[in-house]
């Protein structure tokens, strides 16, 4: 029988896991794996910088709700991945990062392109492996996919020395089930706590549901909609929970938090029952103390027991898969006497006037996002970057079945463009649009070449105010208008730049014009970049 | 509040660093940490002594449980009795050898090394007793001391 090597085993494992695409950048220490991929049928997307391979895998994983794979070589290739891995960790995105490593004999000698990547990623991987024996590869791969995708999802790193990839092994056997003694995530919620939660829901006069990213990760959109319908409770969302509730539904009050809707914050502050679902009470979403009333009853549903009680007190903790728990809650939930409360929050919502009006001298970004939403398909995916563009998008994007992807936890600039490429590859039939500022754009614009090379119809909107807008705003408020390092002098002509990559581009200097170009962009078959001239004075909120 | 945790972990490389880095990055302090084998060769036992309020202790336990090779975390004293023990080695100036010997006998310690100028004393006992012996010996001129972390086990 022909013996196969470690790299070929890695590829067979990926095939067993249904992996059809790998985002990466090769180097000497990962060459055996690249050789095995070459004619495996797995598509390889060559990025221009390793960090973006992780972001693409993130966009891909989020769109398909299953782990995606990125790869890099040892040393600098691996260290470049770190920001992408950390970004995925903070948002609980299941990615598998495979890195090459120097040979076992060279390990620990500060060899050329050696980096202790498992050590460096210790605090932002869910788990990591340094594989020293070819016989361990199938077990490690099985465990990695299981760990990444179950319980609270997250990135798993597999570091494999070149010689282990080359080592010959006998038969390939892929374990059917992983067997990890210390890893058994809880799935069903405790019946007693569910009963208590149902009682609290019936007794509440001013209940509110806070929908977090955990609901998206658990694929529990339908369950959430049913629970909200049966319980009657109005809903607010964290940034990561945007898109779960149809944005037009009357009891959906929008995003809470530091950059959220004021009435959504007001509603959660006035509630006598707060039902946190898959929300980790991060400081930007729920600033404690104060955001939730002292006397309010708090129900916290989360698959990660460590999130419960981490940042705030909880009265009724329910550890379990959000989908299973919401199913159980929806089945028996009955509203109490909440009509007056619903009237109050509906009035909050009715009296809200969106910020920002169309302009003709600049593109007003907030009203532009609303206009763009109206042009987009109902299930469009909007991928937003970080900074002012993130908040403009999060507050004004409104889609019935839409998805909103962003780096909410780590707040990584440069995320949108590569994540949008990953999302589009995952969902070629859906509209995918990336929105970023001129700062973030320049952190990952090299990936335009990846989009072109792979024939991906990347739709990109750049809000160009020639500033690092959000930092500048902080400087205006807290540092006496001293704009230290926030003016992006030296920006190139972005239209020409995109065109140089072979991407048609246009620059809009007013909302009417921007929407015309947006329409053109959404209807074009290929990639398209819309550069919007934005007034640097435009506020974030 | 002082707490003692016993943590059973898979005996594999890197587990210690995962546990320690968790304490470091979340800002939990460790008073002492001891690692050794358990009754199962595939499983190591860590004893961690730390300090924190109830909320911190709960987080420490939960966060430790999230580490994949961590099999079990138990807080000692939460249910039932436990006993703990530290090991201490003291090298001491031997000019007052008779008095030191008295202390050694009183505390049931053991002299394990004698040279022209020094005595080496070995002692095993709980943290408080180690502290007592140390303070009794201190006036006689301690040259060096080596102390282990605490190990502990439930007795009920």
The superfamily in CATH containing domain B2-75 is: ACT domain (3.30.70.260)
Does any CB of chain B come closer than 8 Å to the CB of residue A478? no
Nearest CB among B22, B59, B71 relative to A182 is that of: B71
Does any CB of chain A come closer than 8 Å to the CB of residue B27? no
Q: Which residue of B has its CA nearest to A314?
A: B55
CB contact under 8 A, A119 and B63: no
Residue A189 is classified by DSSP as: P
Does any CB of chain B come closer than 8 Å to the CB of residue A358? no
Cβ-based neighbours of A152, under 8 Å, separated by 6 or more = A92, A126, A185, A214, A217, A302, A303, A304, A307
> Checking phi first, is residue A327 left (phi over 0); if not, alpha (psi -120 to 50) or beta?
alpha
Q: Name the fold adopted by A191-350.
A: Rossmann fold (3.40.50)
**What pLDDT shows up at residue A400?**
78
Q: Which CATH architecture has domain B82-154?
A: 2-Layer Sandwich (3.30)
> Looking at CA atoms only, how far is residue B45 from chain A in angstroms?
14
Does any CB of chain B come closer than 8 Å to the CB of residue A118? yes
User: Is the bond preceding A482 in cis, omega lying within 30 degrees of 0?
Assistant: no
Beta bridge partners of A319: A302
Does any CB of chain B come closer than 8 Å to the CB of residue A108? no
**What pLDDT shows up at residue A8?**
97
Report how far residue A447's alpha carbon sits from residue A453's, in angstroms, rounded to the nearest whole number. Answer: 10
The CATH classification of domain A4-165, taken from the options 2.120.10.70, 3.30.70.20, 1.10.287.130, 3.40.50.970: 3.40.50.970
The answer to whether A247 and A187 are in contact (CB under 8 A) is no
A14 CB neighbour count, 10 Å cutoff: 23
Helices (H), B51-147: 54-66, 97-107, 127-137
Q: Per-residue pLDDT averaged across B105-126, rounded?
A: 96
Looking at chain A, which residues constitute the CATH 3.40.50.1220 domain(s)? Answer: 191-350
- Label residue B76 by pLDDT band (50, 70, 90): very high
The answer to whether the predicted template modeling score (pTM) of the entire model surpasses 0.80 is: yes
Residue B117 is classified by DSSP as: S
Residue B100 has pLDDT above 90, yes or no: yes
CB contact under 8 A, B65 and A306: yes
Does any CB of chain B come closer than 8 Å to the CB of residue A1? no
**What pLDDT shows up at residue A294?**
84
Query: Is the CATH number of domain A365-533 3.30.559.10?
Result: no
Does any CB of chain B come closer than 8 Å to the CB of residue A306? yes
Burial A220-253 (b: 16+ CB within 10 A, else e): bbebbbbbbebbbbbbbbbbbbbbbbebeeebbb
Radius of gyration of chain B (CA): 18
Report how far residue B121's alpha carbon sits from residue B113's, in angstroms, rounded to the nearest whole number. Answer: 7
Helix (H) or strand (E) holding A100: strand A95-101
Three-state DSSP class for residue A158: strand
- For the residues of A433-500, what is the DSSP string, one character each? EEEEEHHHHHHHGGGHHHHHHTT---EEEEEE-SB-HHHHHHHHHHSTT--TT-B-TT---HHHHHHH
Looking at chain B, which residues constitute the CATH 3.30.70.260 domain(s)? Answer: 2-75
Radius of gyration of chain A (CA): 24
Beta bridge partners of A98: A71, A158
Report how far residue A251's alpha carbon sits from residue A224's, in angstroms, rounded to the nearest whole number. Answer: 13
CB contact under 8 A, B65 and A130: no
Helix axes A6-16, A137-149, angle to 10 degrees: 30
- For CA atoms A322, A325, A327, A331, give the dihedral sign: negative
Looking at chain B, which residues constitute the CATH 3.30.70.1150 domain(s)? Answer: 82-154
- With CA atoms as reference, report the closest residue to A164 among A92, A89, A106, A233: A106
Q: pLDDT 10s digit of each residue in chain A, 541 long?
A: 678 999 999 999 999 999 999 999 999 999 999 999 999 999 999 999 999 999 999 999 999 999 999 999 999 999 999 999 999 999 999 999 999 999 999 999 999 999 999 999 999 999 999 999 999 999 999 999 999 999 999 999 999 999 999 999 988 999 999 999 999 987 889 999 999 999 999 999 999 999 999 999 999 999 999 999 999 999 999 999 998 988 788 889 999 999 999 999 999 999 999 999 999 988 888 887 778 888 899 999 999 999 998 988 999 999 999 999 999 999 999 999 999 999 999 999 999 999 999 999 999 999 999 999 999 999 999 999 999 999 999 999 987 788 999 999 999 999 999 999 999 999 999 999 999 999 999 999 999 999 999 999 999 999 999 999 999 999 999 999 999 999 999 999 999 999 999 999 999 999 999 999 999 999 999 999 999 999 999 999 9
Torsion of CA A396, A401, A403, A409, to 10 degrees: 80
Looking at chain A, which residues constitute the CATH 3.40.50.970 domain(s)? Answer: 4-165, 365-533
Q: Which residue of A has its CA nearest to B60?
A: A306
Q: Nearest 5°: phi and psi at A429?
A: -85, -5
Report how far residue A118's alpha carbon sits from residue A99's, in angstroms, rounded to the nearest whole number. Answer: 10
**What pLDDT shows up at residue A1?**
61
Which of B44, B58, B68 is the mutation pick for testing A, counting most A CBs within 10 A? B68
Which of A306, A307, A317 is the mutation pick for testing B, counting most B CBs within 10 A? A306
> Checking phi first, is residue B14 left (phi over 0); if not, alpha (psi -120 to 50) or beta?
left
CB contact under 8 A, A180 and B68: yes
């Amino acid at each position: 029988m022909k013996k196969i090597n470690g790299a070929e085993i890695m590829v067979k494992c990926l095939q067993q896991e249904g992996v059809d695409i790998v985002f990466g950048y090769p180097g000497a220490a990962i060459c055996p794996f690249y050789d095995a991929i070459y004619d495996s049928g797995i598509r390889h997307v060559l990025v221009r910088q390793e960090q973006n391979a992780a972001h693409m895998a993130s966009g891909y994983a989020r769109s398909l709700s299953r782990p995606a794979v990125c790869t890099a070589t040892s040393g600098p290739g691996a260290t470049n991945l770190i920001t992408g891995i950390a970004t995925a960790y903070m948002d609980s995105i299941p990615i598998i990062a495979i890195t090459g490593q120097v040979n076992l004999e060279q390990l620990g000698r500060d060899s050329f392109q050696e980096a202790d990547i498992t050590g460096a990623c210790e605090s932002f991987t869910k788990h990591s492996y340094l594989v020293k024996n070819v016989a361990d590869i199938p077990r490690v791969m099985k465990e990695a996919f299981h760990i990444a995708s179950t319980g609270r999802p997250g990135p798993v790193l597999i570091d494999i020395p070149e010689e282990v990839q080359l080592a010959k092994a006998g038969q390939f056997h892929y374990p059917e089930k992983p067997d990890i003694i210390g890893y058994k995530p809880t799935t069903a919620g405790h019946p007693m706590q569910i009963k208590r939660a149902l009682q609290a829901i019936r007794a509440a006069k001013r209940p509110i549901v806070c929908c977090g990213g955990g609901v998206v990760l658990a694929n529990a959109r339908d369950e959430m909609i049913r629970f909200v319908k049966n319980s009657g409770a109005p809903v607010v969302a964290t940034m990561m929970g945007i898109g779960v509730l149809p944005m037009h539904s009357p009891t959906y009050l929008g995003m809470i938090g530091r950059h959220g809707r004021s009435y959504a914050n007001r509603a959660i502050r006035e509630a006598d029952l707060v039902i946190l679902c898959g929300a980790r009470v991060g400081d930007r979403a729920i600033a404690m103390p104060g955001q939730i009333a002292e006397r309010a009853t708090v129900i916290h549903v989360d698959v990660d027991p460590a999130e419960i009680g981490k940042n705030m007190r909880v009265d009724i903790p329910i550890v379990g898969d959000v989908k299973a728990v919401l199913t159980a809650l929806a089945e028996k939930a009955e509203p109490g006497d909440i009509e007056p409360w619903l009237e109050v929050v509906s009035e909050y919502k009715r009296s809200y006037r969106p910020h920002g009006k169309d302009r003709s001298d600049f593109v007003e970004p907030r009203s532009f996002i609303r206009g763009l939403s109206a042009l987009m398909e109902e299930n469009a995916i909007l991928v937003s970057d970080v900074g002012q563009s993130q908040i403009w998008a999060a507050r004004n994007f409104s889609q019935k079945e839409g998805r909103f992807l962003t780096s909410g936890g780590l707040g990584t600039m440069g995320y949108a463009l590569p994540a949008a490429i990953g999302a589009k590859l995952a969902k070629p039939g859906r509209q995918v649009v990336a929105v970023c500022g001129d700062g973030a754009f320049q952190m990952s614009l090299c990936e335009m070449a990846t989009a072109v090379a792979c024939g991906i119809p990347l739709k990109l909107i750049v809000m160009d105010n020639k500033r690092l807008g959000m930092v500048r705003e902080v400087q205006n408020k807290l540092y006496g208008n001293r704009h230290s390092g926030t003016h992006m002098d030296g920006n190139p002509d972005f239209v020409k730049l995109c065109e140089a990559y072979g991407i048609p581009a246009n620059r809009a200097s007013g909302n009417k014009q921007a929407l015309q170009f947006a329409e053109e962009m959404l209807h074009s078959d290929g990639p398209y970049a819309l550069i919007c001239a934005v007034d640097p004075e435009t506020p974030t909120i | 509040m002082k707490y003692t945790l016993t943590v059973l972990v898979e005996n594999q490389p890197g587990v210690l660093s995962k546990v320690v880095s968790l304490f470091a990055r979340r800002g939990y302090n460790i008073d002492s940490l001891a690692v050794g084998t358990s009754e199962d060769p595939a499983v190591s036992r860590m004893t961690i002594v730390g300090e924190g309020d109830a909320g911190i202790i709960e987080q420490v336990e939960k966060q430790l449980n999230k580490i994949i090779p961590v099999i079990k975390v138990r807080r000692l004293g939460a249910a039932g009795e436990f006993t703990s023990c530290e090991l201490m080695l003291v090298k001491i100036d031997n000019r007052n050898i008779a008095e030191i010997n008295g202390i050694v006998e009183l505390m049931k310690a053991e002299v394990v090394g004698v040279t022209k100028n020094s005595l080496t004393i070995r002692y095993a006992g709980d943290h408080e007793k180690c502290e007592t012996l140390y303070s009794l010996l201190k006036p006689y001129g301690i040259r060096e001391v080596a102390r282990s972390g605490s190990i502990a086990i439930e007795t009920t």
